[in-house]
Structure formats: structure tokens, C-alpha cells
Amino acid sequence: MRIRHRSGLIFTAGTFAAGLMLLAGCDRPAAGPGGPMPGGTPEVLVMTVQPERVTITAELPGRTSACIVAEVRPQVNGIIQKRLFSEGSDVKAGEVLYEIDPAPYRAAYDNTTAALARAEANLPPIQSKAERNKKLIASGAIGQQEYDDIAGTLKQTKAEIEQLKAAAALARINLGYTRVNAPITGRIGKSNVTEGALATAHQGPPLATIQQTDPIYVDAPQSSANLLRLKRKIAAGRIVMDSPSQAAVKLLLEDGTSYSLEGTLKFSDVTVDPSTGSFIFRMSFPNPDRILLPGMYVRAVLAEGVIEQAILVPQLGIAHDPKGNAIALVVDSADKVEQRVVKVERSVGDKWLVSEGLKPGDRVILEGLQKIRPGVSVKVASSGANTDTTAPANADAPAEIKK
């Protein structure tokens, strides 16, 4: 059985009316306090409280986001000649998406490679002359100045060749940039430009965006106050961590249905947002069928821990007095009605988790509340452990989702 957070306390009109009648009494004649009710001993239906093992979960609203997002931008200037993908399709890393007019970049590359070839052609005769002059200066046939001149020319030619090689490489890179490739594998969205548009290197608006959505992330805020309360309960031993299933996370979609695949908790943020008093939980979910799209509203059901001896009472067994105190009517050992002020923490489907005011073995009245008041004797019509007149809560899918 799983528990999830809800804001506020939910109770029926019948139980509220019963609570008021308990305090204000009925208009019909009755005996004094503790005396018999008119019409004989009233009959009530009770349940016997017994502790249960309950998994505590937090239901957190969140948004989905792609695990990897790449914005496609041009790295050279030019006119877009072709768009080579279908919007909304899957693309692979390295696949050509756009073609930019390559003519000026091809011309620049050809010019640079020609200059490089000319410089390389001049190198062998200069190098041969330098080697000959090195032998001649040893025999004193030429002067030192003539040898230094040819040696300097050789070094200059070699440096020019290296410079032209770098320029040719840059020209080749720029020519390659005229084919805009997909940086990652994923699903590409709509194109923000058409054929004939001018592309600018490193422009602000992207040409298109590619996203990887398998797996997909869910970012959900969690109140820092709730985290502190949870830590206090764990420190007090009221909640026990239930590893390794602690990291498993379930997901509820926008229409209230459960997502079929479980996710895992990736990390929790280390900083609390001062404007909201919350921090972010990030979870990862497999998304092979792409049911989850980036930006969807979802609710993550995150396991927090386990209460080994939890006391659960059907909601129709708990009323509220005019001050807002939760009260329950129980049948004592003498079969008399006793009113208890209890403390409820949260709902468990159609039940309340009671932390104070009840103990194992107590018999809580579920039906017949309109006929009784504290102190009167009653006849127990049906008694048993955890007797319940309604269907149990679904442990995997909460009955409702509140945004």
C-alpha cells in the first residue's frame, strides 16, 4: 500500500454531520449522559485497528525535458541552397541537414592550395643551392654573407609552406562547414529557415533543434520543509529507509494514467531556491516509444521510506469538530462509546494515516454514528480486524491527481 501527499483533509458530508451531532446532540429526547438512547441500544459497525506496513511516497509535480539538446547553427556565412531533412524525423550524428552555397569557400580553398603548391615547387632548388654553398664556404670559395642569404631564403620558404598548409586546412574546414551536419543523434524539430535564407556564422537563432528523449528527464520541485520533516521522522525511527527500491520512481501522466515504465532518481539539487523554498529532484525514465515529450506536465511518485506499524482508518470513521480537530468514536471494553481526538497525517486512498490517538486493538465506529453519542452503550453488529466498507486504495496508482 502506498501513501501520497494531498493538500487539505477530505471528508464526506455524512461524517461532518455526524461530528456536529456528536458535539451538539440530537433534537429528539434522550436520557442523561451515559444513559440509554430512546428506542433501545443502538447498533454500530466497527473495525478493529491493527498496524500495517506502509510505504511512504511523495507525489511531486514536474516537467519532462530532453536528456540532450543540440541547437544547430551555421559556422560560415552564406545562402542556404538545400534543406535535406524532414521536420520531426529522426536524424543521426553526422547527417547533412543543410547545404550553404560553397562556391566562395571552394574558390578560397583552391587559391590557397595553389599557393601552397607554388611554394613547395620553389623549395627543392633553394634547398640544393643551400647544400652546395655549405660545402663551398668550408673551402673558402664563397663569402659568409652569400651563404647566410641562401640559408635565410631556405628557412623563409619552409615557413611559408607551413603557413600555406595551415591556410589550406582552414579553407578546407570552412568548405566543409557549408554542409551543416547533425551534431547528435535524435529527433529534429521544425526548421527555422527556408532555402534561400541567409545564414550567418554563429547566429543567435538556431536553424533547427535536435533532442534526445530516450531516456527523458523529469525535473520536480520538492519543498525543503517537507525534506526536513522527513529527516526528523527518519531520525526518530518512525520511517525506515527501504533500499534498494528507494531509487525507483513511478510516473503519472497528464490524463491521470500511470506510465508503464519505472524511472530512477538521478540527483537532487544542492541549493534551495530562496524565492520558492524548494529544490529540484531530477529523475530519468526510459522512453522507447516516445510517449513522453519534452515539456509535458507529469507527477512523479517517489518512495521516501516505510512505516512498519502504521495505523490506517477509513475516512468515514474520522469526523471533525468545529475547531477543526479530527475525532474518532471508539467502543471501549464495556461496549460504551468513547470520543478520541486523533492526529491524521495524510490520506492513503480512502483511509487516513493516524499518528496519535489510536492504538492497536481499538474498535473504531464506522456506521451508526447518527444514533450515538459519547458515553452510551452500543451493540456491536460486526467486528473484525480492519473491517472496511469501501474498496482499498490502489497501491500503484493514486485515485486522483491534483495539479
CA distance readout (Å), 122 to 114, 115, 224, 345? 13, 11, 74, 90
Say whether domain 58-66+213-306 belongs to CATH 2.40.30.170. yes
Residue 2 has pLDDT above 70, yes or no: no
CA-closest candidate to residue 315, choices 243, 256, 367 = 367
Structure confidence at residue 70 (pLDDT)? 95
User: How far, in Å, CA of 298 to CA of 62, rounded?
Assistant: 5
| H or E segment to which residue 305 belongs | strand 297-314
Picking from 5-19, 217-231, 237-251, 323-337, which range would have the lowest pLDDT averaged per residue? 5-19
Residues 6 or more apart in contact with residue 221 via CB below 8 angstroms: 60, 61, 62, 273, 276, 278, 279, 280, 281
133, 150 contact by CB (below 8 A): yes
pLDDT interval class at 247 (50, 70, 90):
low
Picking from 57-66, 181-190, 236-245, 305-314, which range would have the lowest pLDDT averaged per residue? 236-245
Q: Which position has the higher pLDDT, 36 or 311?
A: 311
User: How far, in Å, CA of 384 to CA of 171, rounded?
Assistant: 87
User: How far, in Å, CA of 384 to CA of 367, rounded?
Assistant: 14
299, 402 contact by CB (below 8 A): no
Identify the sign of the CA torsion 301, 307, 313, 319.
negative
392, 1 contact by CB (below 8 A): yes
CA-closest candidate to residue 119, choices 153, 152, 157, 151 = 157
Structure confidence at residue 240 (pLDDT)? 54
User: How far, in Å, CA of 319 to CA of 128, rounded?
Assistant: 107
* Percent of the chain's residues with pLDDT above 90: 34
- What angle, rounded to 10 degrees, do the helices at 144-177 and 103-139 form? 160
CA-closest candidate to residue 160, choices 217, 210, 212, 112 = 112
Residue 359 C-alpha cell reads as 492504538
| H or E segment to which residue 300 belongs | strand 297-314
Structure confidence at residue 394 (pLDDT)? 35
Average pLDDT over all residues of the chain = 79
CA-closest candidate to residue 359, choices 326, 327, 311 = 311
- Read off the DSSP letter of residue 185: S
Structure confidence at residue 238 (pLDDT)? 53
pLDDT interval class at 319 (50, 70, 90):
confident
User: How far, in Å, CA of 154 to CA of 379, rounded?
Assistant: 117
User: How far, in Å, CA of 281 to CA of 299, rounded?
Assistant: 12
Q: Which of 167-171, 237-241, 349-353 has the highest mean pLDDT?
A: 167-171
Return the CATH class of domain 2-54+308-382.
mainly beta
346, 230 contact by CB (below 8 A): no
370, 21 contact by CB (below 8 A): yes
Structure confidence at residue 87 (pLDDT)? 92
Phi-psi region of 388 (alpha: psi -120 to 50; beta: other; left: phi over 0): beta
**Domain limits of the chain?**
2-54+308-382, 58-66+213-306, 102-177
Please identify which residue in the block is written with the cell numbers 474518532.
Answer: 328
| H or E segment to which residue 326 belongs | strand 326-331
Phi-psi region of 89 (alpha: psi -120 to 50; beta: other; left: phi over 0): beta
Picking from 141-145, 233-237, 336-340, which range would have the lowest pLDDT averaged per residue? 233-237
Q: Give the tens place of pLDDT for each residue, 22-76.
A: 444 444 444 444 445 555 788 888 888 888 888 777 788 999 999 999 999 999 9
Residue 400 has pLDDT above 50, yes or no: no
CA-closest candidate to residue 23, choices 392, 233, 335, 329 = 329
CATH fold label, 102-177: Helix Hairpins (1.10.287)
Q: Give the tens place of pLDDT for each residue, 169-184.
A: 999 999 999 999 999 9
Whole-model pTM?
0.63
* Percent of the chain's residues with pLDDT above 70: 79
Please identify which residue in the block is written with the cell numbers 525535458.
Answer: 65
Residues 6 or more apart in contact with residue 25 via CB below 8 angstroms: 373
Q: Which position has the higher pLDDT, 107 or 149?
A: 107
